[in-house]
Structure 1
Amino acid sequence: MTTQFKVCSCNQTMPLDPAAGAALGAALDAGVLHPASQLCRREIGAYLDTLQGVDQVVVGCTQEQALFTEVAQQKETVAPLRFVNIRETGGWGAQAKQALPKMAALLAAAALPDPEPVPTVEYDSGGSVLLVGPAERVLPWAKRLSGQLSVSVLLTSGHAGAMLMERDVPTFSGSQIGIDGWLGAFKVSWQQANPIDLELCTRCNACIEVCPENAIDFNYQINLDACTSHRDCVKACGAIGAIDFQREETQRSGEFDLIFDLSDQPIITLHQPPQGYFAPGADPLKQTDHALQLTQLVGQFSKPKFFVYKEKICAHSRNTTVGCNACIEVCSAAAITHNGNHIKVNPNLCVGCGACTTVCPSGALSYAYPRPTDLGTRIKTMLATYAKAGGTHPALLLHSQEQGLELINRLGRMAATGALQGMPARVMPIDLHHVASVGIDTWLSAICYGASNVLILSTGDEAPQYLAALEQQISFAQTILSALGYQGTHIVLLKAQTPAELDKQLHALTPAQAPGQRALYNIAAEKRGTLDFAFTHLLKYAPTAKEEISMPAGAPFGMIAVNTSACTLCMSCVGACPESALLDNPNMPQLRFIESNCVQCGLCEKTCPENAITLTPRLLLSDAAKKPAVLNEAQPYHCIRCGKPFGTLQMIDNMVSKLSMHGAFAGNIDRLKMCSDCRVIDMMENKKETSILEMKR
Structure 2
Amino acid sequence: MPLDGPALQRALGPAASDGLDVVHTLLCRREAGAFQRAAKSGEDLVVACTQEQRLFLELNAETEGAPGVQERPIRFVNLRETGGWSKDVRARPTTLTPKLAALLAAAQLPDPEPVATVGYRSAGRCLIVGPADAAQRAALLLQDALDVSLLLTAPGGTLPQARSLPVAAGRVTALTGWLGAFEATWTSTNPIDLDLCTRCNACVEACPESAIDFSYQIDLAKCSAHRDCVKVCDAAGAIDFQRAPGETTERFDLVLDLGVEPLIGLHQPPQGYFHAADEAQLVSAALRLRGLVGEFEKPKFFQYKHKLCAHSRNEREGCTACIDVCSAQAIGSRRSENGPEKGGISVNPSLCVGCGACTTVCPSGALTYATPTPAHQGRRLRTLLAAYRQAGGPKLAGDAALLLHSQGAGVQLIDALGRAARTEPAVRGVPARVIPVDVFHTASVGLDLWLAAIAHGAAQVWVLMTDEEAPDYRAAVAAQMAVGQALLDGLGYRGRHLRLIEARDVAALDAALQGEPAQTVAQPAGFAVQADKRATLDLALDHLLAQAPARPVPEAIALPAASPFGSLQIDTGKCTMCLSCVGACPESALGDNPERPQLRFTEKNCVQCGLCVVTCPEGALALAPRLWLADGGKARKQPRVLHEMPPWACVKCGKPFGTQKAIEGMLTKLAGHSMFQGAALERLKMCGDCRVIDLHTNPNEVKITDL
| TM-score of the alignment, normalized to the shorter chain, above 0.5 | yes
Is the partner of 1:389 in helix, strand or coil? Answer: helix
- Aligned-pair CA distance for 1:368: 1.4
1:43 pairs with 2:31 = yes
Pick aligned residue for 2:584 from 576, 580, 587: 576
Is the partner of 1:51 in helix, strand or coil? Answer: helix
Q: Which moved more, 1:105-114 or 1:226-235?
A: 226-235
Cα distance between partner residues in 2 of 1:639 and 1:423: 76
Alignment of 1:50-129 (within 5 A): 50-75=38-63, 77=67, 78-96=71-89, 97=93, 98-129=95-126
Per-residue CA deviation, residues 319-357 of structure 1 (Å, 9 max, x unaligned), is: 222111111111111111112232111111111111111
Per-residue CA deviation, residues 484-515 of structure 1 (Å, 9 max, x unaligned), is: 111111111112111122112212x2100001
Cα distance between partner residues in 1 of 2:564 and 2:512: 30
Is the partner of 1:240 in helix, strand or coil? Answer: coil
Question: For residue 438 of structure 1, what is the aligned residue in structure 2?
Answer: 445
Per-residue CA deviation, residues 535-593 of structure 1 (Å, 9 max, x unaligned), is: 11111111112231011233222111222232111110001111111101122211100
Per-residue CA deviation, residues 46-75 of structure 1 (Å, 9 max, x unaligned), is: 211222243211111111110111122233
1:546 pairs with 2:558 = no
Pick aligned residue for 2:403 from 393, 397, 403: 397
- Aligned-pair CA distance for 1:438: 1.0
Pick closer, same or farther for the CA change 1:565–1:144 going to 2, 3 Å: closer
Pick aligned residue for 2:691 from 645, 656, 679: 679
Per-residue CA deviation, residues 351-398 of structure 1 (Å, 9 max, x unaligned), is: 111111111111111111221101100000010001111243111000
Question: For residue 543 of structure 2, what is the aligned residue in structure 1?
Answer: 537
1:561 pairs with 2:569 = yes
Question: For residue 3 of structure 1, what is the aligned residue in structure 2?
Answer: none
- Aligned-pair CA distance for 1:238: 5.8
Pick closer, same or farther for the CA change 1:255–1:69 going to 2, 3 Å: same
Question: For residue 131 of structure 1, what is the aligned residue in structure 2?
Answer: 128
Amino acid at match of 1:114: D
Gaps of 5+ in 2: 336-342
Pick closer, same or farther for the CA change 1:680–1:211 going to 2, 3 Å: farther
- The answer as to whether partners of 1:93 and 1:418 remain within 8 angstroms in 2 is no
Question: For residue 358 of structure 1, what is the aligned residue in structure 2?
Answer: 360
Pick closer, same or farther for the CA change 1:414–1:212 going to 2, 3 Å: closer
Cα distance between partner residues in 1 of 2:378 and 2:107: 14
Cα distance between partner residues in 1 of 2:160 and 2:26: 61
- Aligned-pair CA distance for 1:297: 1.0
1:163 pairs with 2:159 = yes
Amino acid at match of 1:106: L
Question: For residue 327 of structure 1, what is the aligned residue in structure 2?
Answer: 322
- The answer as to whether partners of 1:539 and 1:546 remain within 8 angstroms in 2 is no
- Aligned-pair CA distance for 1:472: 1.1
Is the partner of 2:289 in helix, strand or coil? Answer: helix
TM-score (norm 1): 0.93
- Aligned-pair CA distance for 1:274: 0.8
Cα distance between partner residues in 1 of 2:18 and 2:486: 43
Amino acid at match of 1:506: L
Question: For residue 153 of structure 1, what is the aligned residue in structure 2?
Answer: 150
Pick aligned residue for 2:511 from 493, 504, 515: 504
Is the partner of 2:249 in helix, strand or coil? Answer: strand
Cα distance between partner residues in 2 of 1:372 and 1:199: 55
Amino acid at match of 2:176: D
- Aligned-pair CA distance for 1:248: 2.8
- Aligned-pair CA distance for 1:414: 1.5
1:219 pairs with 2:215 = yes
Percent of pairs identical after alignment? Answer: 54
Pick aligned residue for 1:144 from 122, 141, 146: 141
Cα distance between partner residues in 1 of 2:49 and 2:18: 14
Amino acid at match of 1:142: A
Pick closer, same or farther for the CA change 1:202–1:541 going to 2, 3 Å: same
Question: For residue 518 of structure 1, what is the aligned residue in structure 2?
Answer: 524
Q: Which moved more, 1:437-446 or 1:642-651?
A: 642-651
TM-score (norm 2): 0.92
1:266 pairs with 2:262 = yes
Q: Which moved more, 1:91-100 or 1:605-614?
A: 91-100
Equivalences, count: 672
Question: For residue 371 of structure 1, what is the aligned residue in structure 2?
Answer: 373
1:277 pairs with 2:267 = no
Cα distance between partner residues in 1 of 2:159 and 2:272: 28
1:638 pairs with 2:662 = no
1:22 pairs with 2:6 = yes
Alignment of 1:200-219 (within 5 A): 200-219=196-215
Amino acid at match of 1:64: E
- Aligned-pair CA distance for 1:662: 2.3
- The answer as to whether partners of 1:21 and 1:33 remain within 8 angstroms in 2 is no
Cα distance between partner residues in 2 of 1:380 and 1:332: 31
Amino acid at match of 1:494: I
Q: Which moved more, 1:262-271 or 1:400-409?
A: 262-271
Question: For residue 338 of structure 2, what is the aligned residue in structure 1?
Answer: none
